[in-house]
Structure 1
Amino acid sequence: MSFRPLFTKNKPIKPASASRRRRRLGSSLQCLEDRRMMAGDVALLPIEAEYVDVSTLAPNTTEWTLDPLADFEFAGGADPFEQQLTASGEIDPNDLIFSASIVPTLAQELDARYDLMESDDYHTNCLGQNERWVRSNSGGWFFLTPEGDFFQWRGSFNNSRHLATFDASYYDNPDLIAEPETADVEVVIEGDVLKIIPGVDYTGSFQVAVGATNGFGGATDLVLVTVTPPEPIDDFKAPTNEDDPGGEEDPEELPTPPPVLMVIANHDFYYQEYADTRTSLEEAGLEVVVAAASTDTATPHNGSGQVGSGEVTPDLSILDASADDYSAIVFVGGWGSSMYQYAYEGTYDNGYYNGTEAVKLATNELINDFVDQNKYVTAICHGVSVLAWARVDGVSPIDGKTVSAWANTSPGSDTAFNTTRQEIEYNGGIMVESGSVGVAGTAEDDVIVDGRIITAENYDSASVFGDVIGEMVNDPAYIDEIFAEWE
């Protein structure tokens, strides 16, 4: 997240001379006398001098500073966070008036200044620079580069005005600029105490500007505040012989589920959706096996959250995968996942996204086998389009299912499909709005379980996506129903 200071240093104002202050004050007092005479109450406030000699007043020479604040981090979902504000120097803190406000992010400032528009189509690569375009309500155009640089269009790339630099996630989702999220947080000052009150389900970071004044001068400080998820409350306690003194043996342990099969594209898979999902699955105690069209090294989308190259070597080809060996299947997003779309009849501009008939057929048969065995079939972001174009008994496995997925642009092709949403809805899927699941306005928990279909919106949702799959697969009822014959 980008932050910009709310307060800047102003040029000092030259104080008025003593004679000028006397004239100004005398004029103000004379004006007050005239008004009272007109009102007929001059006797209530006799004016005995034409002016007051302010040179006799003691100047304000108090020196003090606002004590700096360290960055805050606290768990949400509980009591408000409180921090006492203090000052040092020749000042009584009781003589200070404190203030605090949330500093707008750079994206919020740009949206407020240019009134940017959210869109379902950001015209990717319209002028051949892999740029993505955002429009203003006033008619102006702006564009993002794959590196996250944001420009105001001025007739040519060379003449365009550079406004900001974001991380690559803003290029992947320009809505982060066109419709920036607002922190669900209340900041309050009570005397000399700063109180930060987050919404019940809010997590994230934001910057707060804290100020203080004694009427003659002021000071400010900036502090970064991070609200982390609340500590989980685990009320479950497995039964033991101590809980049941009459028991003679420990209950029989359930078998460990077999691995989860993750399918990525050999070209342009979304790295963060792969890595965060895999991490959550492994933290749930599940082994992960990676498949692709071939065992050749798989390369991710540029700027999709990888450290270094982000290359992954698949464990096996999808041609050799069998549903019998796995507890669930996961299709990772990224435009490269288009290569697994069985019933898609168009041709993509990027040849890597077209896949082979053998790979598409093997993918569809694998999905059918998972469905026949009543195992979880899951996908994230553009990977949900693979489920959309699959066919089980002649229809898509998500026909009539509620799903979450990437709503915006899909790869260029010779078809009328311009967005992933169009592909999903064409095949009967019921797609929710972005950020509408769980905490409103965030995609972090946009994961939907509809029967044995689990879907998630995008890379923001990947960690929770993996958590949900792990929970479902490790559920004793699921294990007992699907894997009772395992040893």
Structure 2
Amino acid sequence: MAPKVLVILTSHDKMGNTGKPTGWYLPEFAHPYEALEGHADIVVASPNGGASPLDPSSVEAFKSDESSVSFLNNKKSLWENTAKLSDFLGKAKEFDAIFFVGGHGPMWDLAVDATSHKLISEFADENKVISAVCHGPAALTQVKLSNGKHLLAGEPVTGFSNSEETAVGLVEVMPFSLEDALNEGSGGKYSKAAQDWTSHVVVGRGGKLITGQNPASASDVGKAIKQAIGA
């Protein structure tokens, strides 16, 4: 039987109080999906269920990226008909991994979503793979395990860096600094690539925690998930 991966998308579609659209970021789903397709069964959920907002700026930015364009054109049902996150509580045993797609949306909903936090804790209790890329690790910043410890305590972790957030001009818009929150939760174990916008994947929790820094890391995160679940 093929391994199963639960992919989580944001339901949040507005960038703070700017009125600008946001959501999940195209290559951060397209590239890991490409790595896992045919090797794992993929189930997609979001906090609200139904259609999950795709950040239009990511479509524009990756219009020359063949795999992103193909994914956009051929896989719409994946994000237009997501299951509701709460449907999966108590079902971590049925999956091999959970993966949080980035984009700025998770900074507003998944970062503070109690259902998401409980689900991640259940995946940790079952020793399943917990993974995220770019702003997806926002979902991990407040997760407590069943023993009361922080999920990230003492574990190496990465996510979108302060310098990259500064470069895209969104530091003032974000509800918090992802780099700072990850660094605090992990007890100073946040790391980033020597050069912004290059791939950087970090593995912790004995191979069960996989995080990627930015869009360039998405493909490598997908490959790391594939390897971790033996797909």
Normalising by structure 2, report the TM-score. Answer: 0.75
CA contact (8 A) 1:456 1:465 kept: yes
User: 393-402 or 366-375: which moved more?
Assistant: 393-402
Show the counterpart of 1:149: none
Show the counterpart of 1:467: 223
Aligned counterparts of 2:150 and 2:105: Cα–Cα separation in 1 = 20
1:114-193 aligned within 5 A: none
> Which amino acid is the alignment partner of residue 140 of structure 2?
L
1:61-460 aligned within 5 A: 256-266=1-11, 267=13, 268-283=23-38, 285-304=39-58, 305=62, 307=69, 312-321=79-88, 322-338=91-107, 339-342=109-112, 360-392=113-145, 393-408=147-162, 409=165, 412=173, 417=176, 419-428=177-186, 430-435=189-194, 443-444=198-199, 446-450=200-204, 451=206, 452-460=208-216
Aligned counterparts of 1:281 and 1:337: Cα–Cα separation in 2 = 22
Show the counterpart of 2:65: none
Aligned counterparts of 1:396 and 1:385: Cα–Cα separation in 2 = 14
* Greater fraction of residues in strand: 1
Q: Flag the 1:278–1:435 CA change in 2: closer, same or farther, 3 A.
A: farther
2:6 counterpart SS class: strand
Structure 1 position 314, deviation (Å): 3.7
Coordinate RMSD, CA, aligned:
2.3
CA contact (8 A) 1:261 1:326 kept: yes
Aligned counterparts of 1:292 and 1:433: Cα–Cα separation in 2 = 27
CA contact (8 A) 2:24 2:105 kept: yes
Aligned counterparts of 2:126 and 2:155: Cα–Cα separation in 1 = 18
Structure 1 position 374, deviation (Å): 0.6
**Identity among equivalent pairs (%):** 26
CA contact (8 A) 1:435 1:442 kept: no
Q: Flag the 1:381–1:442 CA change in 2: closer, same or farther, 3 A.
A: closer
Aligned counterparts of 2:172 and 2:142: Cα–Cα separation in 1 = 15
1:341 counterpart SS class: coil
Aligned counterparts of 1:328 and 1:454: Cα–Cα separation in 2 = 10
Structure 1 position 435, deviation (Å): 4.0
Greater relative contact order (CA < 8 Å, ≥ 6 in sequence): 2
Structure 1 position 315, deviation (Å): 3.5
1:448 counterpart SS class: strand
Structure 1 position 303, deviation (Å): 2.1
Q: Which runs of 5+ in 1 are unaligned?
A: 1-255, 343-359, 476-487
2:152 counterpart SS class: coil
2:150 counterpart SS class: coil
Structure (1 or 2) with the larger CA radius of gyration = 1
Structure 1 position 289, deviation (Å): 0.8
1:329 counterpart SS class: strand
CA contact (8 A) 2:8 2:101 kept: yes
Aligned counterparts of 2:172 and 2:43: Cα–Cα separation in 1 = 27
Structure 1 position 411, deviation (Å): 7.0
Aligned counterparts of 2:157 and 2:94: Cα–Cα separation in 1 = 26
CA contact (8 A) 1:293 1:319 kept: yes
* Greater fraction of residues in helix: 2
CA contact (8 A) 1:387 1:396 kept: no
